[in-house]
A and B are shown apart, each in its own frame.
Chain A
Amino acid sequence: MTTLDIPVRAVAGDIDKPRGGPVAALARHATALMRRSLIKTIRTPEALLDVTLQPVIFLLLFTYLFGGAISGGDRAGYLQFLLPGMLAQSLAMGGIALGQNLNADIEKGVFDRFRSLPVARSAPLVGAVAADFIRYLTVCVVMLGFGYIMGFRVETGLAPALAAVALSIGFGLCFCWISVLVGMMVRTPGAVQGLMFLLVFPLSFGSNVFVPTNTLPGWLQAFVQVNPITPLVSAIRGLLVGGPVASHLLVTLAWMAGLLIVFVPLALRAYNRRA
């Protein structure tokens, strides 16, 4: 620290206007912040365990340990039924880490710096959510890849399979806003995980992921019918192994829109209030 030759402000034009207008600025800032999150993800691959090893263990557990009993011995048939559902469950669980990370970032003061910069208040959250697509993509690749080794086969075709992946990632990006909201509201990353598990467990198990709905008692069927995971599972199942898709897809898209409409504003408000 000897020679000091940093020029003072030499910014041309109106420094009060974001370059290219507010929308372009938000897109640019969110992209820069998304890149930050992606770098962090790549640098800490162990943070991907919940979207790699964990779904694989679940898949093995339910196929080989419970699968025989549930399906009356037809493990191969059960895997065809189970895998699309487990994909949906893993997506819902995969969003939990985002709320935890954001919570930790805020505690560490990293977000203070972002707040002191002239970026839209939503940019840090939008950037962080956008970067989470890599985790949902990982879930899809790992599940379909490992499933293939176990004997799972796509019965429809490449285009429907890609559509299933796109739908999965899209749902993950909408569902994780709940985790973002919880991350803004509670005090510690551990509390985010605890609360989110309380939400995700009933949603993912109280659905058509593991068993056909018609085997359940009536009251539970009622819950399964209104559970947003159910139409998602049905749509992915249809896209991967065949069956009706259109109506399930519409209901899923409606849920995705609903999640965004409700939880994005709530999360942004909670973020702004968190001093």
Chain B
Amino acid sequence: MSDLVVRAEGLRKRFGKTQALDGVDLAMRRGTVLGVLGPNGAGKTTAVRVLATLLRPDEGSAFVAGIDVLKEPQRVRRRIGLTGQYASVDEDLTGTQNLVLIGQLLDLTTRDAKRRAAELLEWFDLGEAAGRMAKTYSGGMRRRLDLAASLVGHPEVIFLDEPTTGLDPAKREDMWNVVRTQVTQGSSVLLTTQYLEEADALADEIVVINKGRVIAHDSPDGLKRRVGGLTLRVRPADPARVPDVLRVLEAVAAPGTAASPDTTAGARPGAVSVPVTGDTSLDIAVPALRRAGIEINDLGLHLPSLDEVFHALTEGTAETSTKEDELV
């Protein structure tokens, strides 16, 4: 158990009528990224707030870096970094002032705090904006500053609560690189997200939370196997060719599955989707479609959406749904 840098058992927390956490167990191995996946209101943020010593659970226990979060929160605070869902930088302070303040509160000397602030600002491409008030920063810059603030103390465990929500795809990639770098340098990262794509890109293991409960804990590959893995979607230019597309794509369908007209919620009719096992399916599908003389408007590999993940994971657990309904 000693290599578990985060360990929580049976966390429960109720706010008024809402059971935000309803018996959550979490385990994160040292030096890894744990992705906590779930929709809005699933309890992700509440779980992070408990682990980051901001909130006491009604029941349950939690250990971070081997220290009891409830009994010795101050020791835990010396070992963690937290970036909340909303950028909590101080708008009236400059980038440097924000980070120096954090350093001083972490008991660095003022000189060390300034050095660390400069180093982080440079690293996060905020060197030129270091002397400007954070209120003049763009959304992406604020996120970076917020993330930098959680790294001032070289934390052993980093909590990131939806770090990329609202960022454009390029900025999201930047964030992902930051997370990966932290892990290579010895930190462990627990991040919450609403995007399976993000969890897949970063996490060694994924915990899926819904309605305050863990409904799956698996590796990204294991999870994808359980929810159907990748989907290849093809939209022919001529909707009349859909039957031909179906026939061609049978060749790449994952074992035990079949190509079918795409019925994803919100999808326009006239597309075909097929579960596939890997991206080599593209190497087969694209030439085959060309040989069949089918003109394609749109073609792409997709991870299952969060909706599909939930659909797959909650299927067959319908007997618990009445109980969950009572709790909401």
Chain A residue at smallest Cβ distance from B106: A117
- Whether a CB of chain A sits under 8 angstroms from the CB of B84 is yes
CA–CA, A159 and B185, complex, Å: 61
- Which of B55, B89, B101 has the most chain A CB atoms inside 10 A of its CB? B101
Known A-B contacts A29-B104, A109-B84; A116 and B52 likewise in contact (beta carbons under 8 Å): yes
Q: A1-B125, A9-B154, A44-B92 are in contact. Are A113 and B133 (CB under 8 A)?
A: no
**Cross-chain contact of B186 among A5, A8, A39, A275 (Cβ < 8 A):** A8
Docked-complex contact B84 and A112, CB < 8 angstroms: yes
Question: Does A248 count as interface, using CB distance less than 8 angstroms?
Answer: no
Q: Which of A15, A36, A109 contacts B93 (CB 8 A)?
A: A36
Q: What would 27 A/B residue contacts be, using CB atoms closer than 8 Å?
A: A1-B124, A1-B125, A1-B178, A4-B177, A4-B181, A8-B185, A9-B154, A16-B78, A19-B107, A32-B101, A32-B104, A33-B101, A33-B105, A39-B92, A39-B97, A43-B92, A109-B84, A109-B87, A110-B89, A112-B82, A113-B82, A114-B105, A116-B80, A117-B106, A118-B74, A118-B78, A118-B105
Interface size on A, residues (CB 8 A): 38
Residues from chain B with Cβ under 8 Å of A217 in the complex: none
Interface residues of B (CB under 8 A from A): 49, 52-55, 74-75, 77-82, 84-90, 92-93, 97, 101-102, 104-107, 119-120, 123-125, 133, 149, 151, 153-156, 174, 177-178, 181, 185-187
Quick one: which of B49, B102, B133 contacts A117, CB cutoff 8 A?
B102
| Contact partners of A10 in chain B: CB under 8 A | 154
A266 contacts chain B at the CB level, 8 A cutoff: no
List B contacts of A109 (CB < 8 A): 84-88
Which residues of chain B come closer than 8 Å to A4, judged between CB atoms?
Answer: 123, 177, 181
* A residues neighboring B (CB under 8 Å): 1, 3-11, 15-16, 18-19, 25, 28-29, 32-33, 35-36, 39-40, 43-44, 108-110, 112-119, 123, 275
Contact A113 to B88, CB < 8 A, known contacts A39-B97, A43-B133: yes
Expressed in whole angstroms, the Cα–Cα distance for A108 and B89 within the complex equals: 9
Chain B proximity of A128: nearest CB distance (Å) = 12
CA distance A44 to B53 in the complex (A): 32
Q: How far is the CB of A196 from chain B (nearest CB, A)?
A: 23
Contacts of B186 in A (CB 8 A): 8-9
**A16→B79 CA distance, assembly (Å):** 9
